[in-house]
Amino acid sequence: MKVSGLIAEALRSIGIGEEPIECVSLSGGCIHDVRHVSFATGRSLVCKTTMEPAGAEQLEAESQGLQALHDLEQQPLKIPAVLGFFRSTDRAVLILEWLEPGSPTDRMWSQFGTDLATMHDLVSDRRYGFAASNFIGATRQINDWSDDWVSFNQECRFEPQIKWARDAGLLQAEEVARISMVTRSLDRHLPADPHPSLLHGDLWSGNLIPLADGPIGVIDPACSIGDGWADIAMMRLFGGIPSICFDAYAEARTSDDPPSSDRLLVYQMYHLLNHVNLFGRGYVGQVMQIAESLA
């Protein structure tokens, strides 16, 4: 398949004028159109494309997150390099390094757990938040800076998700009341000042790619500075990641003790509320189950 005029224009903007020999649609692009673009020279890259203003904003935020991960000093994880971000009115293309997929092994998963712990042990900032708001899936994620992790989660994570779900009719009044009772007392479950780590933010198995050259590649972030165990909570939520990875993480982590189960449940409730807003009431039962256990 030939590349679109938009992709060709984006490639020219970063100095690539040669004609691609192949442009293949990639699975997993549920929000944007994602293409693997190959050239006769053997070079490959990824082009993520949108034709909508909201999508362009999402791709720009993704670019910022990937760049933050990539630029982290002593970053041990494999992050695709951002080669360019092209925007023309409502249209946009994010151009990324191609990561060649391979087959996962226990050794790869163990090493990923160790490397993630190493990343989380680095000090990224003394505050919680991020340089800009971004997106968790297609949902806006507020990242206003805060000195208090509990307040940050109340104001920037739970309050927006609850409001959006309530206003859309996805949560009933009694459900909102029950969830809000838990979020008002998050200080029972979360530390006020955990080690400030750079978080991927959306670290489920679909955003982890076992690579042909050995490591696990990491894509599609929703970055912020926060508690590293929040990434672990998301990794555990939907499965697909072997226990050897979590064991290696816990063994390698030096800046924080293993968390209580309630702490992980709080972070999982946030992601489940986001799934309510993205996909509907099918996730409300899981949200309420966690709310009941934390009440």
The tokens for 183 are 């979020």
Contact yes or no for 178/158 (Cβ under 8 A): no
Beta bridge partners of 95: 47, 84
Q: What one-character DSSP code corresponds to residue 203?
A: -
Neighbouring CB atoms inside 10 A of 48's CB total: 25
Pairing mode, strands 82-88 and 224-227: unpaired
- Burial (Cβ within 10 Å: 0-12, 13-18, ≥19) of residue 56: buried
Collect all residues with Cβ–Cβ distance below 8 Å to 179 and sequence separation of at least 6.
158, 162, 171, 269, 273, 287, 288, 291
**Single-letter amino acid, residue 111:** Q
Contact yes or no for 251/285 (Cβ under 8 A): no
The tokens for 54 are 């909201």
Catalytic entry in 33, 71, 202, 257: 202
Helix (H, G, I), strand (E, B) or coil at 48: strand
Indicate if 33 belongs to the active site. no
Active-site amino acid positions: 202
